[in-house]
Structures are given as C-alpha cells and as structure tokens.
C-alpha cells in the first residue's frame, strides 16, 4: 500500500532568461489552475533572477509536479 501522506517541497532556482510581467502572469494562471485540479497548494515568489517555490500536497503528486518543474527550461539549478 502506498503512503498517501502529505509532503512539502521548497526550492530556489535561477531564471534562464528575463521574463515579462505578462509571462509571469500566464505562468501563475496556469500553475493555479493545475495546482487546484491536482490538490496542491503553495506559493511562488518571483524576483529578477530567481524563483522560490513551496508546494504542498499528496506525496506522489508533489513528486510528479517537481519532476515537471525540474524539466522546465525557464529555470535551472
């Protein structure tokens, strides 16, 4: 039986390029929609060079989302 516990994951990453305010707004809209659908909560902070994010939710869902996020070319490290 899988452990269905909740987990929290936090990370900081470096942006690979500058993003416009419209791009950030689109990113947030999509993240909010996907997170709601998947039962995730959290926060995303944006600065000129970095993202900081905390995701909370079911363990396997957070792990799957973190894999998707890690593959996103808009940031690294």
Which whole number is the average pLDDT over 15-43? 94
- Residue 63's pLDDT band (cuts 50, 70, 90): very high
| pTM, full prediction | 0.81
pLDDT surpasses 70 at 41: yes
> Exposed, middle or buried by CB within 10 Å (0-12, 13-18, 19+), for 10?
exposed
Of the chain, the percentage scoring pLDDT greater than 90 comes to: 91
Helix, coil or strand: residue 54: strand
In what helix (H) or strand (E) does residue 59 lie, and over which residues does it extend? helix 59-70
Tell me what pLDDT residue 2 has: 55
Q: Which of 44, 51, 58, 45 has the alpha carbon at shortest distance from 17?
A: 51
Contacts of 73 (CB under 8 A, 6+ apart): 16
What tens digit of pLDDT does each residue of 2-21 get? 556 899 999 999 999 999 99
- Residue 77's pLDDT band (cuts 50, 70, 90): confident
């Amino acid at each position: 039986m899988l452990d269905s516990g909740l987990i929290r994951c936090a990370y900081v990453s470096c942006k690979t390029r500058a993003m416009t305010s419209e791009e950030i707004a689109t990113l947030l809209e999509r993240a909010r929609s996907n997170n709601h659908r998947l039962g995730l909560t959290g926060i995303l902070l944006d600065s000129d060079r970095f993202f900081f994010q905390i995701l909370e939710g079911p363990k396997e869902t957070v792990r799957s989302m973190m894999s998707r996020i890690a593959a996103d070319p808009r940031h690294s490290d």
